[in-house]
């Protein structure tokens, strides 16, 4: 695709800040969701700090040649829960998070060393376009349910008659705000001028937030719960936790994970170490498959093979050690984000300087309480509208990889079919506490199917090429090039016959 800003390009000043903010908004909703799900002292601000540090580490290892942001990995949710469940205290659980992320990162380091020694040809053999294309597609399609679910949600909760907490807003009000966000993103990206095309997500989120705020204000004024979408109490809980204005209202130091781990005074039993090992190491191999798929996808978008330059070994080292750094500060292992890749695809901005600025911005944001509160207050329906575009672009970019694949061959058709159906159907495998996600399972099945049928691929004849239509030349020059038509011979034959008859008469 045509890029507005290539990898080495350097946006300046206000443009750089705005582009970085857009990348941050694209990834922050998912990044802060992981610590909110896990709880146990993990905070969104620390996750933002860890994501920023992890991304900087990744950029350094990849020599600023790979434009993607690292955020909190959902694949390790079960592993993180196991770290707290097996620990006798919250501090030991935080130490387990850091230890587990270090083990997972070491898996990446070992694989990187192997790749550095033997190259990536084996990987291209195992994962050709017919395998990696559908795999990338299901990364986006597997998230479709999340986007649609968020599209129908508001963030204000009320207590029902039976004492349970339920969503106040009507799903239709949420859908309206989500669609307004999505349409704004689409219009800016398609019809906007140069700057609007580069920041469609910022504009879309702001317009959607304004629409949700207007509905919430109307619902509050008229006491209509069905219109309440934004939970403004988030601001008071972040900025005035003790009910009074203080320095913490504006600035606060994130609760970094390593600080909690250092305060751990508990004994560490061998069984707990084994639990962490079993919870993290197998998942690292699963995330490795998604790492390859993400970088193949990004390579197709920017028109450069990232597995060759900077090389898969460097991307693995950056991801692995960046994940260690992210967990050390924020508790959450990091991974390359499809939302960030989709943002590059939609805006055409592949500048790694933008990614660096976004990483630094995340670190700075984590100290500014009102900004953290604002990001947390963006209603689910608004982010759902954004995610429909982001996840859709991930899916479509995977399908684009299939354009060069001959799907008239049964072998290719079976490989793509197995991956798509297994992935969309949600086929995942569970071995005790270890879960192989639907994406990894589909990729494994696709690789096996391709290996089984690869022999048939070479023996099966290529389909006959369609004849290329040739436009007829009508110019005088073209007519001159044409061979001269043979002259008719019937007149000369008649003259010869007439001469023969005259000669016969004279002889008589």
- How confident is the model at residue 465, as a pLDDT? 35
Residue 433 pLDDT > 70, yes or no?
Answer: no
pLDDT at 497: 57
Contacts 24+ apart (CB under 8 A), 399-406: 399/133, 399/134, 399/137, 400/133, 400/300, 401/129, 401/132, 401/133, 401/136, 401/296, 401/297, 401/300, 402/129, 402/130, 402/133, 402/134, 404/129, 405/129, 405/130, 405/133, 406/462, 406/463
On whether residue 393 sits in a domain, the answer given is yes
Buried residues in 387-405 as b, exposed as e (16+ CB within 10 A): bbbbbbbbbebbbbbbeeb
Asked if pLDDT for residue 20 goes beyond 90, the answer is yes
Please write the tens of the pLDDT for every residue from 200-241: 999 999 999 999 999 999 999 999 999 999 999 999 988 988
Q: Let me know if residue 478 belongs to a domain.
A: no
pLDDT at 500: 56
Return the pLDDT at 501. Answer: 60
Q: What is the pLDDT of residues 275-294, one digit of tens each?
A: 888 889 888 887 888 898 89
Query: In this structure, are residues 388 and 151 in contact, taking their beta carbons and an 8 Å threshold?
Result: yes
In this prediction, residue 363 carries a pLDDT of 96
In a domain, 241, yes or no: yes
Please tell me the number of Cα atoms within 13 Å of 232 on its side-chain side.
9
How many domains does one find in the chain?
1
496 domain-assigned = no
Asked which of 104-118, 122-136, 320-334 is least confident by mean pLDDT, the reply is 122-136
Task: Give pLDDT, residue 403.
Answer: 87
pTM of the model: 0.79
Query: At residue 413, does pLDDT exceed 80?
Result: yes
Instruction: Inform me whether the pLDDT recorded for 100 exceeds 90.
Output: yes
Helix axes 13-38, 77-86, angle to 10 degrees: 50
pLDDT-derived band at 75 (thresholds 50, 70, 90) equals confident
Q: Is the four-CA dihedral 50, 53, 57, 58 of positive or negative sign?
A: positive
Does 404 reside within a domain? yes
Query: Rounded CA gap, 456 and 275, in Å?
Result: 44
Domain coverage including residue 306: 13-455
Contact 335, 31 (CB under 8 A): no
In a domain, 35, yes or no: yes
Within-domain flag for 492: no
Within-domain flag for 210: yes
Q: What is the mean pLDDT of residues 404-428?
A: 92
Average model confidence (pLDDT) for the chain? Answer: 86
Closest among 33, 49, 73 to 360, alpha carbons compared: 49
Residue-level pLDDT at 508? 47
């Amino acid at each position: 695709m045509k890029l507005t800003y290539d990898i080495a390009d350097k946006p300046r000043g206000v443009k750089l800040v705005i582009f970085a903010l857009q990348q941050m908004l694209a990834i922050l909703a998912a990044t802060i969701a992981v610590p909110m799900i896990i709880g146990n002292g993990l905070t969104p601000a620390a996750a933002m700090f860890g994501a920023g540090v992890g991304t900087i580490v990744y950029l350094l290892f990849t020599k600023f040649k790979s434009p993607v942001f690292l955020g909190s990995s959902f694949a390790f949710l079960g592993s993180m829960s196991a770290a707290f469940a097996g620990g006798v205290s919250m501090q030991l659980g935080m130490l387990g998070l850091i230890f587990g992320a270090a083990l997972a990162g070491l898996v990446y380091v070992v694989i990187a060393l192997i790749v550095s020694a033997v190259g990536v040809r084996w990987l291209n053999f195992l994962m050709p376009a017919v395998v990696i294309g559908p795999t990338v597609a299901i990364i986006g399609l597997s998230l479709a349910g999340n986007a649609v679910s968020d599209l129908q949600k508001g963030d204000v909760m009320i207590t029902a008659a039976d004492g349970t907490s339920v969503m106040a807003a009507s799903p239709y009000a949420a859908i309206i705000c989500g669609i307004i966000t999505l349409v704004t993103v689409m219009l800016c990206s398609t019809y906007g001028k140069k700057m609007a095309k580069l920041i469609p997500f910022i504009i879309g989120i702001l317009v959607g937030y304004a629409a949700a705020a207007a509905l919430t204000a109307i619902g509050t004024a008229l006491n209509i719960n069905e219109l309440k979408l934004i939970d403004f109490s988030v601001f008071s809980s972040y900025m005035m936790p003790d009910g009074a204005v203080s320095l913490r209202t504006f600035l606060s130091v994130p609760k970094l994970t390593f600080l909690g781990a250092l305060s751990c005074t508990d004994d560490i039993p061998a069984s707990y170490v084994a639990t962490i090992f079993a919870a993290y190491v197998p998942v690292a191999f699963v995330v490795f498959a998604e790492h390859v798929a993400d970088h193949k996808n990004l390579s197709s978008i920017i028109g450069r093979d990232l597995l060759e330059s900077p090389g898969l070994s460097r991307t693995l080292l950056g991801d692995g050690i960046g994940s260690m750094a992210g967990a050390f500060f924020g508790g959450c292992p990091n991974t390359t984000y499809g939302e960030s890749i989709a943002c590059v695809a939609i805006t055409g901005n592949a500048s790694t300087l933008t990614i660096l600025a976004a990483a630094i911005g995340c670190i700075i944001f984590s100290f500014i309480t009102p900004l953290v509160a604002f990001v947390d207050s963006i209603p689910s329906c608004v982010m759902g509208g954004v995610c429909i575009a982001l996840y859709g672009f991930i899916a479509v970019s995977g399908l684009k990889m299939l354009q060069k694949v001959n799907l008239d061959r049964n072998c290719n058709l079976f490989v793509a079919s197995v991956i798509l159906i297994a992935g969309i159907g949600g086929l995942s495998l569970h071995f005790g506490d270890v879960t192989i996600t639907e994406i990894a399972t589909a990729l494994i099945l696709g690789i096996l199917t391709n290996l089984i049928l690869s022999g048939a691929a070479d023996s099966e004849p290529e389909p006959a090429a369609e004849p290329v239509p040739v436009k007829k030349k009508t110019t005088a020059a073209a007519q001159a090039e044409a061979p001269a038509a043979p002259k008719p011979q019937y007149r000369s034959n008649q003259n010869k016959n007439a001469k023969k008859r005259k000669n016969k008469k004279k002889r008589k």
